[in-house]
Amino acid sequence: MPIHFISDLHLQPDRPGLTDVLLHFLGSEQARGSEGLYVLGDLFEYWIGDDLSIPDNREVIDAFRELSDKGTPVYFMHGNRDFLLGEEFVSETGGRLLPDPSVIDLRGERTLLMHGDTLCTDDTAYQAFRRQVRDPENQKAFLALPPEHRRQIATGLRSTSQSAQSEKSMDIMDVNKKAVNECMQKHGVQRLIHGHTHRPATHRFQLNGEEATRIVLTDWKNDRGGVLECDDHGCVEHPLY
């Protein structure tokens, strides 16, 4: 059976078409016949705590639960938008939360899975912000705030992020090749799969004198998505509508 990977769906209420694409995929024979479905971050545009965000995304959560109940293992990884996905979300979907990074055996080859944002080391402002919001004490303080306060902060951060991205060069927001090489060497792999950059592609290069592969997953937009399907013959990206 094939194994599937998706990332960067950025689901949100004002983009119902993307939710429809996901629901169709989760109910398809393709997903139900999968050996495992890996969601490598940014499933949602924002997540402000399981207590508030689960009710807002009940249809999606129930669809993942139905898929997992039918025998397809589902794995989630935090993204830079939905890093507050918690144990209640994991429990209700029937999935499992993976650390970032994680190494899996993918058809006999050690493969590194990441969201990808930690590889964008040239964007020093973002990396500083990431360290701040990923601090456990800061997260605890945020989750203790009243619901409306949390919603206001999330809205403000989204606006700030969009403004900041418009002022940065595309190169700064892409991965740093040295960071990629060092990370792959650290984990002893020749293949890396990640999302985050919204630059879907398959990169082949030399690492430790051997061919290495970095696969960047498709970001979902304009009511279209993509899923990477890997089997004994290799990995192929399939469009989803």
Q: Per the structure block, which two tokens stand in for 183?
A: 């990370």
Amino acid occupying residue 12: Q
Give DSSP secondary structure letters for 135-149: -HHHHHHHHTS-HHH
Give DSSP secondary structure letters for 108-124: TEEEEE--SGGG-TT-H
Domains, the chain, in order of start with CATH, read 3-120+174-240 (3.60.21.10)
pLDDT in tens, 176-232: 999 999 999 999 999 999 999 999 999 999 999 999 999 999 999 999 999 999 999
pLDDT in tens, 138-149: 999 999 999 999
Task: Identify the residue whose tokens are 């006999």.
Answer: 108
Q: Where are the alpha helices (DSSP H) in 9-86?
A: 16-26, 29-32, 50-56, 58-69
The predicted model gives 158-169 an average pLDDT of: 82
Task: Identify the residue whose tokens are 């669809």.
Answer: 63
Q: What pLDDT score was predicted for residue 2?
A: 97
CB of 22 closer than 8 Å to CB of 60: yes
Q: What pLDDT score was predicted for residue 158?
A: 85
pLDDT in tens, 110-133: 999 999 999 999 999 999 999 999
